[in-house]
Amino acid sequence: MDLQTLTYITIGLSFVLYIGIAIRSRASTTGDFYVAGKHVHPVANGMATAADWMSAASFISMAGLISFLGYEGGMYLMGWTGGYVLLAMLLAPYLRKFGKFTVPEFIGDRYYSQLARVVAVICLIFISFTYVAGQMRGVGIVFSRFLEVPVETGLFIGMGIVFIYAVLGGMKGITYTQVAQYCVLIFAYTVPAVFIAINATDNPLPQLALGSELSEGSGYLLDKLDKTLMDLGFGDYTSPFNDKSMIDVCAITLALMVGTAGLPHVIVRFFTVPRVRDARISAGWALLFITILYTTAPAVGALSRMNLITTVNGTDGSGTSYAAIPGWFKTWENSGLLAWFDHNGDGKVQYAAGNAFAGNGKPVFAGEQRGPHRERVTSNPGDGKPVGNAPFANEIYVDRDIMVLANPEIAGLPDWVIALIAAGGIAAALSTAAGLLLVISSSVSHDLLKGTFAKGISDRTELMAGRIAAGVAISIAGYLGLHPPAFVAQVVAFAFGLAASSLFPVILMGIFNKRMNKWGAISGMLTGLTFTLGYIIYFKGIFIEPFAANIPENWILGISPEGAGVIGMALNFIVATIGARNTAPPPPHIQQLVDDIRVPRSS
Amino acid sequence: MDTSKDAYWRANIRLVTGCLIVWFGVSFGCGILLVDFFNQFQIGGYKLGFWFAQQGSIFTFLFLIFFYAIRMNTLDRKYGVRED
């Protein structure tokens, strides 16, 4: 059976599984639709949270990011896990005690203000759509690379599947499909990782393989990688702050942590467990399931970088002639994620530091034209000068997403492992997309309609409105996936910044600061959101041209747009505190509400 | 708020503060601010600071949440606020 058929079968089977689960767990009340009737076991919720939260970016891009960043990759690893500590200790148990359906509902009640609720809905919709665009794109990309269908077709198939189980089952349907999706994605991620770990180090546990000696006997993997990279003109792998300054690493890590804790689709998962103590332990289970992938990723990153170098430069380190390069190189070249330009004209492919291509370093292909070695012709070669002490100039462009997607091929693993990676990538993207679409639709049907503009509607009408909102949200997400503002990982990073600077501070102060009132909260949220969005647009220019070059000299305190959420968060806290000091304290029944959510059982 | 609930809240804040100090220490402390210092030490093939940034802090986070959840269950019982 060829690879493509195998991939179709694997993905098809996983879809049958998801739809089967969705049909079994249809939602019949708004309680089912919004919070799965609050009947979800903490371990199941932990698994669902892990899938909900590990996105296409975690699955496809993260190991690649780490493999090119080295030490600095740690900011993603710490940032995306450390947030669960904040979530477990500062938010989840109290929000569960509050016991209603959505995050804006908490903000509206706690700050006794419809305006605060609507502002929270705006923040939520902003964050969730930014994030979901990346997921839909991820589904399309996986389809197009593995099944050779256009990105658009893949995207429509993904939308169709999410539509079926999100609209039909609401939170109840999503929860149990996410449990299944977690199993698919973690299996798909760890199996190839174990294979490549054994290949390289004889140690089957990737977590240990990273710190092991290479089986070929040339010392520790990380030492070898450091040395190899330095010989090729790169910074070494394990030393800190080659690519980013210390303050920027701190800011990005903190923004990701706080952003994780402030993401509405993650928070709302903790509304689905029966009791406050389940919410606490469930955060632990979620992090355990996430840790399995997150401690595997650094090993995948380091091993795949090593594999890439040895495959391309050959064992003698002089390069491999294009005629003798393995098949995967040509497959990914065809999809545009790899490119080669023979700078020194020796017919060999060589990999070293520096950009092989001019401009932003990405190749511009001259259609399907082929060069003297049958390679794809590119029209923007760089200057072809070696960087530092490298023995030759870099001749290839490697998209970092390849590190996970092509890993099984690079390591020479069997076809079924490759098919598995495709199913895993799709599971990661779909599970996150569904969670996001659900919080968008519940905030529309519950916060905007039932809570603000159409208070009289019945439960049945509200449920129908929720389903329609989910359908509309999926269509918009699909549109954003077709016309993405930037590439997957980047879009997702912005969602974290926005969550960190708008929602997290007001929820936190709502629980821990009784004196915080509605004016403080509203002004804080708007300040945080506006600042962070402005900072990102100023340097990155989404939809418009950037105002200033995105370089450290221009940044405030040396903090890049990815870490801007931290400044936004600080401004939010400051503005909110000043605002609250100068306006009337919250009424007594609100202070009572705060006392009440602080204890698991109210008397 | 009566005194026992006040005391419960104070105990909770103490526990959370302690946990967050550790949280900050392993990630921002060992993994970022003091990474050069810890990188002098080597465990197996890992430089210690690098290990904290890529694995050690994650394992510590995991431990912290379970520790917190279990301690809070004890506090819930001690102060009579445990749910049925």
Q: Could you state, in order of their start, the residue ranges of all structural domains in chain A?
A: 3-304+414-482, 308-410
Residue A84's pLDDT band (cuts 50, 70, 90):
very high
Judged against a pLDDT cut of 80, whether residue B40 lies above it is answered with yes
Query: Does B55 lie at the interface with A, CB-CB under 8 angstroms?
Result: yes
**For the domain A3-304+414-482, what is the CATH code?**
1.10.4160
Alpha-carbon span A105 to A113, nearest angstrom: 10
* B57 near A CB under 8 A: yes
In terms of average pLDDT, the best of A20-29, A337-346, A420-429, B23-32 is B23-32
User: Three-state SS for B43?
Assistant: strand
- pLDDT above 70: residue A62: yes
Q: What is the mean pLDDT of residues A218-246?
A: 83
pLDDT bracket for residue A490 (50, 70, 90): low
Interface touch B61/A81, C-beta < 8 Å: yes
Flag if B45 and A601 touch (Cβ within 8 Å).
no
Is pLDDT of A438 > 60? Answer: yes
Contact state of A288 with B62 under an 8 Å Cβ cutoff: yes
> In this complex, which of B31, B46, B47 lies closest to A78 when CB atoms are compared?
B31
- Substitution target in A62, A77, A89 with the highest count of B β-carbons within 10 Å is A89
**Which pLDDT score is estimated for B10?**
93
Give yes or no for a contact between A275 and B83, defined as CB atoms under 8 angstroms apart. yes
Chain A residues within 8 A of B59 when measuring between CB atoms = 291, 295
**Residue A337 to residue A362: CA distance in whole angstroms:** 9
User: How many other C-beta atoms can be found within 10 angstroms of the C-beta atom of residue B20?
Assistant: 16
A vs B: CB pairs below 8 A: 145
Judge residue A528's burial from the number of C-beta atoms within 10 Å of its C-beta, 0-12 exposed, 13-18 middle, 19 or more buried. Answer: buried
Q: What is the pLDDT of residue A542?
A: 62
Sketch the domain layout of chain B as residue ranges. Answer: 3-78
- Which residues of A fall within a CB distance of 8 Å from B83? 275-277, 600-601
On the question of pLDDT at B53 being above 80, the answer is yes
Q: Please report which residue ranges of A406-517 form alpha helices under DSSP H.
A: 407-410, 415-442, 459-482, 488-501, 503-512
* Coil, strand or helix at B1: coil
**Cβ within 8 Å, pair B81-A600:** yes
**pLDDT score at A239:** 81
Cα(A463)–Cα(A442) distance, rounded to whole angstroms?
Answer: 9
Please report the pLDDT score of residue A2 as a whole number: 80
Given a cut of 80, whether residue A143 has pLDDT beyond it is: no
Q: Which residues of B touch A74 (CB under 8 A)?
A: 31-32, 50, 53-54, 57
In chain A, what percentage of residues exceed pLDDT 70? 97
Structure confidence at residue A28 as a pLDDT band (50, 70, 90)? confident
Q: Report the pLDDT value the prediction gives residue B74, as an integer from 0 to 100.
A: 93
Strand (E) or helix (H) holding A228: helix A221-231
Mutate to test the interface with B, among A207, A223, A252, A599 (most CBs of B within 10 A): A599
Shortest alpha-carbon distance between residue A474 and chain B (Å): 34
**A570: pLDDT confidence band, cut at 50, 70 and 90?**
very high
C-alpha dist (Å) from residue A497 to A261, A529, A575: 11, 9, 18
Q: Give the minimum alpha-carbon distance from A169 to chain B in angstroms, rounded to a whole number.
A: 29
pLDDT value of residue A603:
54
Res. A558 pLDDT band, cuts 50 70 90 = confident
| Distance separating alpha carbons of residues A83 and A76, to the nearest angstrom | 11
Is B75 within 8 Å of chain A by CB?
Answer: no
How far is residue A364 from each of residues A64, A382, A519, A572, measured CA to CA in Å? Answer: 22, 11, 52, 43
- In one-letter notation, the amino acid at residue A328 is W
Q: Is A199 helix (H, G, I), strand (E, B) or coil?
A: helix
Most confident of A25-39, A136-150, A312-326, A501-515: A501-515
If you average pLDDT over residues B56-75, what whole number do you get? Answer: 95
Of A308, A342, A347, A310, the closest CA to residue A328 belongs to A308
Instruction: With beta carbons less than 8 A apart as the criterion, state whether A140 and A430 touch.
Output: no
Judged by average pLDDT, the poorest of A138-142, A413-417, A583-587 is A138-142
Q: State chain A's mean pLDDT as an integer.
A: 86
What would the two tokens of residue A310 be? 């040895």
Indicate yes or no: CB of A66 within 8 angstroms of CB of B35. Answer: no
Give A367's contacts (C-beta < 8 A, 6+ positions apart): none
> What six digits make up the tokens of A411?
């390591």
Per-position DSSP letters for A128-177, written without gaps between them = HHHHHHHHHHHHHHHHHHHH---HHHHHHHHHHHHHHHHHHHHHHHHHHH
Predicted-complex ipTM score: 0.95
Q: Which residues of B touch A295 (CB under 8 A)?
A: 55, 58-59
Biggest CA-to-CA distance, chain B: 55
pLDDT at A417: 83
The pLDDT value recorded for residue A524 is 94
- pLDDT of A432 > 60? The answer is yes
- Residue B2's pLDDT band, with cuts at 50, 70 and 90, is low
**pLDDT score of A561 more than 60:** yes
Highest average pLDDT, of A393-402, A405-414, A562-571, comes from A562-571
Contact B58 A84 (CB under 8 A): no
Within 8 A of B50 by CB-CB distance, chain A residues are 71, 74, 222, 238, 240
Per-residue pLDDT, A541:
66
Six-digit token string for A283: 């955060």
Say yes or no to pLDDT of A381 above 70: yes
Q: Dihedral of the CA atoms A426, A56, A351, A196 (nearest 10)?
A: -60
- On chain A, the residues whose CB falls within 8 A of the CB of B39 are 238-240
Report which of residues A446 and A13 the model is more confident about.
A13
Residue A398, beta-bridge partner list: A338
Give the pLDDT band (50/70/90) at residue A136. Answer: confident
Q: Is B56 in the A-facing interface, judged by CB distances under 8 Å?
A: no
Confidence band of A93 (pLDDT split at 50, 70, 90): very high
CB contact under 8 Å between A211 and B58, yes or no, is no
- Name the token pair of A583: 């306006």
Q: Is the pLDDT of residue A305 over 60?
A: yes
